[in-house]
């Protein structure tokens, strides 16, 4: 038996729980009594629950994150499925999304844009609040192949952790590329960077690594833009084709980037509110000779690597995935994701 060309077998270890009320105790007994090895990195778990993550109440939510975390501590990525939908008439519509997510979680690359390969270190950051706790997540890419190289979470109140995360990303890139530095460093950020942040990044590169590494910061606004908008006059004043970007003011580094489902002149479906353009602002582009067009094209390219389902998001995965990582971390022990290869080098969180 195989899945996407990968040989698979049904594992002997499995849990059939009695009901939702007893699931927590039965799952803990299963983890402690059956999954006794420290790591099961070649395992993947299908978790059938009587609720979805989106419809979960407070107790369901706690159960969902606990199962996810305990499996992840055993190096097991998982996919949750709502049991109330399995026998429904529309369940087959969910299967493509589930299959895409599973392929990504086991290290596959479901799709990517056909672009010229490059060796740039691209690092995304985003945050999540929960009960007054602030956690930052980061997602790291070494190129545009779609392969996720590293994910991590850390305390969002400690600005030094951000610099440490960047330092580790550069070191990991050097180790993976025979000490050859990346051509450039591009940071996708969730809010306007402070001058202090830019200065500290510059100091890190100069003092720690002592090589010339041009870097740019790109602020990717989480909020969909509806106040600044433009239209395609050749499309009945509708939304411009996906990938279009427009400079907001002649002298500014701020742009509208249209990431939507209109890939050709006449789309099959109307553009939804979810597909409003995002606002992107570029920083520190002059010192490294960065082309605005290249940076915006890169943001668009990474927005087409969203593998939680078939429908793409406006945000690039660098910031989108970072937020997902932070969201899981705030519900995990000590606000951190477990430390193993599966938890730090795969898209287990989608």
Helix axes 292-303, 317-331, angle to 10 degrees: 50
Residues 198, 54 share a domain: no
Residues 318, 192 share a domain: yes
Q: Which pLDDT value is given to residue 40?
A: 95
Is residue 97 in a domain?
Answer: no
Is residue 209 in a domain?
Answer: yes
Task: Using CA atoms of 258, 259, 263, 269 in order, give the dihedral in degrees to the nearest 10.
Answer: -100
Q: Which pLDDT value is given to residue 134?
A: 84
pLDDT tens, residue by residue, 258-296: 887 777 666 666 666 567 888 999 999 987 779 999 999
Query: Of 46, 69, 88, which closes a domain?
Result: 88
Six-digit token pair at 58?
């407070």
**What value does the mean pLDDT of the chain take?**
88
Q: Which pLDDT value is given to residue 182?
A: 92
CA angle 187, 190, 193 (to 5 degrees): 70
State whether the Cα torsion 311-314-318-324 is positive or negative: negative
Q: What band does 16 get if pLDDT is binned at 50, 70 and 90?
A: very high
pLDDT tens, residue by residue, 104-137: 999 889 998 888 888 899 999 999 887 777 889 9
| pLDDT of 73 above 70 | yes
Residue 240 DSSP code:
P
Is residue 331 in a domain?
Answer: yes
Residues 157, 301 share a domain: yes
pTM of the model: 0.90
pLDDT tens, residue by residue, 192-239: 888 888 899 999 998 888 788 899 999 998 765 566 777 777 777 577
| pLDDT of 325 above 80 | yes
Is residue 48 in a domain?
Answer: yes
Q: How far is CA 176 from the centre of its chain?
A: 21
Residues 139, 23 share a domain: no
Question: What is the mean predicted confidence (pLDDT) over 238-250?
Answer: 83
Question: What is the mean predicted confidence (pLDDT) over 302-310?
Answer: 91
- Residue 58's domain comprises 2-88
Q: How far is CA 284 from the centre of its chain?
A: 24
Q: Which pLDDT value is given to residue 267?
A: 66
Is residue 111 in a domain?
Answer: no
Residues 198, 84 share a domain: no
| pLDDT of 70 above 90 | yes
Contact 35, 26 (CB under 8 A): no
Residues 164, 51 share a domain: no
Residues 309, 238 share a domain: yes
Is residue 258 in a domain?
Answer: yes
Residues 246, 129 share a domain: yes
pLDDT tens, residue by residue, 82-101: 998 998 889 999 999 999 99
pLDDT tens, residue by residue, 132-177: 778 899 999 999 889 999 999 988 777 788 889 999 999 999 999 8
Is residue 94 in a domain?
Answer: no
Residues 305, 186 share a domain: yes
Is residue 99 in a domain?
Answer: no
d(CA 283, CA 20): 50
What CATH number is attached to the domain comprising 298? 3.30.420.10
Count how many domains the chain has. 2
Q: Which pLDDT value is given to residue 268?
A: 64
């Amino acid at each position: 038996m195989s899945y996407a060309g990968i040989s698979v077998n049904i594992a002997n270890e499995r849990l059939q729980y009695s009901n939702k009320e007893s699931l927590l105790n039965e799952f803990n007994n299963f983890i402690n009594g059956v999954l006794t090895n420290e790591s099961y990195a070649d395992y993947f778990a299908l978790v059938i629950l009587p609720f979805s993550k989106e419809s979960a109440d407070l107790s369901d939510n706690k159960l969902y994150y606990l199962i996810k975390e305990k499996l992840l501590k055993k190096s097991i990525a998982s996919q949750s499925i709502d049991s109330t939908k399995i026998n429904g008439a529309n369940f087959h519509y969910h299967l493509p999304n589930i299959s895409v997510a599973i392929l990504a979680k086991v290290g596959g690359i479901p799709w990517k844009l056909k672009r010229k390969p490059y060796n740039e270190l691209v690092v995304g950051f985003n945050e999540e609040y929960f009960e007054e706790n602030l956690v930052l997540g980061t997602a790291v890419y070494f190129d545009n192949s779609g392969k996720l190289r590293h994910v991590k979470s850390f305390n969002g109140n400690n600005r030094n952790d951000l610099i440490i995360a960047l330092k580790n990303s550069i070191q990991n890139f050097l180790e993976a590329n025979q000490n050859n530095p990346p051509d450039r460093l591009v940071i996708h950020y969730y809010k306007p960077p402070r001058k202090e942040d830019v200065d500290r990044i510059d100091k890190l590169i100069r003092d720690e690594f002592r090589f010339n590494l041009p870097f740019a910061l790109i602020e990717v606004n989480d909020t969909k833009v509806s106040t600044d908008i433009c239209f395609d006059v050749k499309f009945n004043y509708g939304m411009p084709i996906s990938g279009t970007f427009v400079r907001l003011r002649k002298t500014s580094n701020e742009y509208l980037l249209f990431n939507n489902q209109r890939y050709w002149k006449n789309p099959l479906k109307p553009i939804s509110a979810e597909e409003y353009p995002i606002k992107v602002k570029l920083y520190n582009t002059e010192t490294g000779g960065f082309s605005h067009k290249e940076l915006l094209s890169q943001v668009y390219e990474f927005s087409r690597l969203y593998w939680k389902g078939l429908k793409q998001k406006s945000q690039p995965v660098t910031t989108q995935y970072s937020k997902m990582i932070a969201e899981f971390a705030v519900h995990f022990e000590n606000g951190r994701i477990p430390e193993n290869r599966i938890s730090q080098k795969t898209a287990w969180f989608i």
